[in-house]
Amino acid sequence: MVTERDMKVLKFMSGFSWMTAEQIAKLMGVSLVIARRRLKALGELGLVESENVLGSRRLFYFVSREGLEFLGVAAEWSVPKGVRLGQMEHDRVVVDLAVDFAVEHPDFDVVGEAQIRRLDGKLLEAGDEPEFALKRYSGGRFVNVFPDVVAIGPDGQKFVLEFEHSVKDKKRLVSLMRAYLASEKVAAVKYYAAPHVMPRLQAALDAISSEMVFFGGKPKIQIQALNVEQEGLLS
């Protein structure tokens, strides 16, 4: 039997490539034992899959194709990705940020990039305007950019959470920040960054300081250093 709480967890999980049992326990507000029990039950129903990586004892959980169909969000071109080794640390921190926000703001609907791509992909395929994606000017043309996390408030306002784990080209960052400033879809953006990324991110923010707009008396775009602890995901 799938409970209302299970549905909320499945919906949240569908936004991300994977989650750990610890992250899901925190999201649910339950013990690790109970979280694993529910994940096992959802796995037996075929709604959740799990995998370990390189022989690690830790399991990584994600919504299966059947689970996406159960939620009504499956797309022919979108399949569950599971763990990508090169993205593990970035993906882990993004989920941590999303879980923390969801726990602190239970009245918000928190949507991860995987689900954003499915929802917007259907709209773009139909020739419609995407709900979440922004257009950033790059290489002489506009490209769609999908946020890491979008939190939708009770009034429908959208707040974006981004995590920068590697140093990116300043022009690319400035282009994206300008797109966020110009977007009427987004109320505010919070960039979190590993300490070694902060100088580049600050330089990009300084470059658009004269263009900054404000939301609730605060800059629409803010940045914050995040000390990322190595969690030993493959131990």
pLDDT digits 0-9 by tens, 138-196: 777 888 999 999 999 999 999 999 999 999 999 999 999 999 999 999 999 999 999 99
Per-residue pLDDT band for 234 (boundaries 50, 70, 90) equals very low
What residues pair up with 143 in beta bridges, in sequence order?
136
Residue 109 and residue 78 share a domain: no
d(CA 146, CA 157): 17
Q: Are residues 233 and 126 in the same domain?
A: yes
Question: What string of DSSP letters covers 104-161?
Answer: H-TTSEEEEHHHHHHHHHHHHHTTPPPSS-EEEEETTEEEEE--SEEEE-TTS-EEEE
Q: Where are the alpha helices (DSSP H) in the chain?
A: 4-13, 21-28, 32-44, 65-71, 88-104, 113-125, 170-182, 198-207
Q: Are residues 230 and 178 in the same domain?
A: yes
Q: How many structural domains is the chain composed of?
A: 2
* Per-residue CA distances from 201 to 38, 143, 163, 221 (Å): 40, 21, 11, 11
Distance in angstroms (rounded) separating the CA atoms of residues 102 and 104: 6
Q: Above 90 in pLDDT, residue 2?
A: yes
Residues 113 and 222 both lie in one domain:
yes
67 and 124 part of one domain? no
Q: What percent of the chain has pLDDT over 70?
A: 94
- 170/30 Cα distance (integer angstroms): 42
Take residue 43 and report the two structure tokens written for it: 């796995």
Q: Dihedrals φ, ψ of 93, to 5°?
A: -70, -40
For 3-62, the pLDDT digits (tens) are: 999 999 999 999 999 999 999 999 999 999 999 999 999 999 999 999 988 777 789 999
Tens digits of residue pLDDT in 57-81: 789 999 999 999 999 886 665 666 6
Last residue in a domain, options 61, 83, 105: 83
187 in the same domain as 98? yes
User: Is the CA virtual torsion 209, 211, 216, 220 positive or negative?
Assistant: negative
Q: pLDDT confidence of 1, banded at 50, 70, 90?
A: confident
Expressed as residue numbers, the domain containing 178 is: 87-235
Tell me, what CATH number does 40's domain have?
1.10.10.10
pTM: predicted TM-score of the whole model, two decimal places: 0.92
